[in-house]
Amino acid sequence: MNVNLGIWDKLTRLVVCLLLVAGVLGVAVWYRPLVQHNERMRKTILDLGDQIQKEEETARVLNTSIEAIRTDSRTVERLAREILCYAKPGESVIVFETPSTKDSARK
């Protein structure tokens, strides 16, 4: 038996549909901050991954430099000449200095 309730049957279906839509929207609004937080964390992870790659490249360059200093006597000699202004016996060391600001202001 199918009883025709008129408009009440249609209104009941409409209310049930609206309640389902409201429930879905409620869940979406409830989880929105969590989704945004997750997106920020993923962006942070990607940024940190890029930073890790840069630091690994820097570490590789520094390790190469350290290994060169440990094993190559010419590297040590070159660094001593450049940084410490050392010279072999009989050699002259010429050091170029930048003019101070006082001297350039007088001229």
Domain boundaries, the chain: 9-89
Residue 41 has pLDDT above 70, yes or no: yes
Residue 3 has pLDDT above 90, yes or no: no
Residue 105 has pLDDT above 80, yes or no: no
| pTM for this prediction | 0.53
Query: 56-102, pLDDT tens digit by residue?
Result: 999 999 999 999 999 999 999 888 888 888 888 888 877 788 888 77
- The CA distance from 69 to 58, in Å, is 17
- The CA distance from 29 to 6, in Å, is 35
Which 8-state DSSP code applies to residue 99?
A: P
E strands in the chain: none
Residues in CB range of 68: below 8 A, 6 or more apart:
75
Mean pLDDT to the nearest integer, 41-46: 97
